[in-house]
Amino acid sequence: MHRYEVVFIATPALGNLVPAVEFANLITKHDPRFSATVLTFSMPQRPLINTYVQERPSSSTNVRFLHLPSVDPPTPDQYQSTIAFLSLFIHNHKLQVKQALLNLIPTESKPHSPPLAAVFVDMFSTPLIDVAAELAVPCYLFFPSPASFLGFALHLPPVDAVKSESEFVVPSFKNPLPRPVLPKLVLDCNDSYTWFSYHAGRYRETKGIVVNTLQELEPHALQSLYSDSKWPRVYPIGPVLDLAGSAQWDPKPAQYKRIMEWLDQQAASSVVFLCFGSMGSLKANQVEQIAVGLERAGVRFLWALREPPKAQLQDPTEYANHEDVLPDGFLERTAGIGLVCGWVPQVKVLAHNAVGGFVSHCGWNSILESLWHGVPIATWPVYAEQQMNAFQMVKELGLALEIKLDYRVGDLVRAEEVEKGVRSLMKGSDEIRRKVKEMSDKCRGAFMENGSSYANLGSLIQELTN
């Protein structure tokens, strides 16, 4: 039996790394001729990445992690934004990546090593396309965000337009995009825009683009990509999800146990879950408004509340005491109906039958998880492309209810808006709930034999083995 090796390189952020690892698992399970190597970066500012890599049990014996040697990080005078730091950080690993790939390529001294069928880079690791080209290895893009955002990246408006225009026509969206829902990395018009434009310009150099979405979810966005002959072939193979979630490598197992035991005591679909992602946090005045709104809404709630990061490149941290940031007496008054915690095994929570609604930051992984488990979302985007995701879910697909579409950290959503949004989500969103349930069935069907994503994955594998 011929064997093949594929290599994955992902930006050091959970939202990028986890789907890349799950895609590696998907390929090796779909076709046992494949083995996969995931190259990982060490980033001290993001300890959860290191915890994930070290503690996560492999769900496939054909997937392994290979840790790249450390290099000096960019100095503060070299970047203004997190995207610029990450892009330079990955660029500085070119030699280490080249050596790792050389070690995998068959030679006279190791003739039985499987041939390197492809290298998969992600949306912010495109400098490594050069390394693959130098070694004559086919290079693909694995895009962990939606096809709609890929279409936006490929038709990025120029800086002058970003500064002056109020809405933008993008082929991957049915409706014009209002300026307030554009990503911060574009609106800032600093080095984040420059780097994003650089990466997007390089996507066309890849042999194909694999997107973590499915045909049934984003038909318009995908059709706009299929019909443009300037771009490489697009393979929608999602939803690629880690359905075991952080429970298998959870940094706080006692908290996980406490959360699941509490959910076990609640009635079906009675709990609203509030979570703002692995890198999401809100300021103290916003936390207070959420608390007041939740208390007024009177619904059962599970709230993942984390402290804003202390520095630009760091992740949010755990509060030593939630009472320090919540209104006086809030925890006592809501003890019978609510639970406030820190880090949450999100996918396990969404899978629990007690959860009936999700106030979400609208990260794409979170959206896919909620759709898979049939849990309707109320949108509260925070960073990255989340405002555009929220816009698509509410305005284009009718799969979510709006609390905010264009929220930015520093804005203030008042308690009345929180109360109204939570009540509508839990008690007045029957049509959205029905459509989400239908999409849940389509997500699961996409991976059945002859399903859309199953077929697209088969086409990709056929190309990799020819």
SS3 334: coil
CB 298, CB 289: distance < 8 Å: no
What are the C-alpha distances in Å from 149 to residues 264, 402, 413, 457? Answer: 37, 19, 25, 21
pLDDT at 109: 82
Cβ of 140: how many Cβ atoms within 10 Å? 25
Instruction: Give the CA count within 13 Å in the CB-facing half-sphere of 288.
Output: 8
pLDDT at 121: 98
Strand pairing class (139-143; 208-211): parallel
Q: Where are the beta strands (DSSP E) in 333-436?
A: 338-341, 355-360, 377-379, 400-402
What are the C-alpha distances in Å from 69 to residues 26, 43, 66? Answer: 27, 11, 10
**Cis peptide upstream of residue 138 (ω within 30 degrees of 0):** no
Which residues, at least 6 apart from 385, have a Cβ–Cβ distance to it below 8 Å? 145, 146, 149, 152, 183, 364
CA atoms of 408 and 65, how far apart (whole Å): 35
Q: At what angle do helices 14-30 and 364-372 cross, to 10 degrees?
A: 50
User: 380-402 burial by CB neighbour count: b if 16+ within 10 A, else e?
Assistant: bbbbbbbbbbbbbbbbbbebbbb
User: In the numeric block, which tokens belong to residue 358?
Assistant: 């999700």
Q: Where are the beta strands (DSSP E) in 201-270?
A: 208-211, 233-236
What is the per-residue pLDDT across 214-259, written as a single tens digit (0 to 9) for each?
999 999 999 999 999 999 999 999 999 999 888 777 767 888 999 9
What is the per-residue pLDDT across 427-462, written as a single tens digit (0 to 9) for each?
989 999 999 999 999 999 999 998 999 999 999 999
pLDDT at 458: 98
pLDDT at 160: 96
SS3 124: coil
Residues of the chain where predicted confidence (pLDDT) is lower than 50: none
pLDDT at 163: 95
CA atoms of 19 and 238, how far apart (whole Å): 10
Give the H or E element holding residue 47. Answer: helix 47-55
Which residues, at least 6 apart from 194, have a Cβ–Cβ distance to it below 8 Å? 84
CA atoms of 138 and 209, how far apart (whole Å): 12
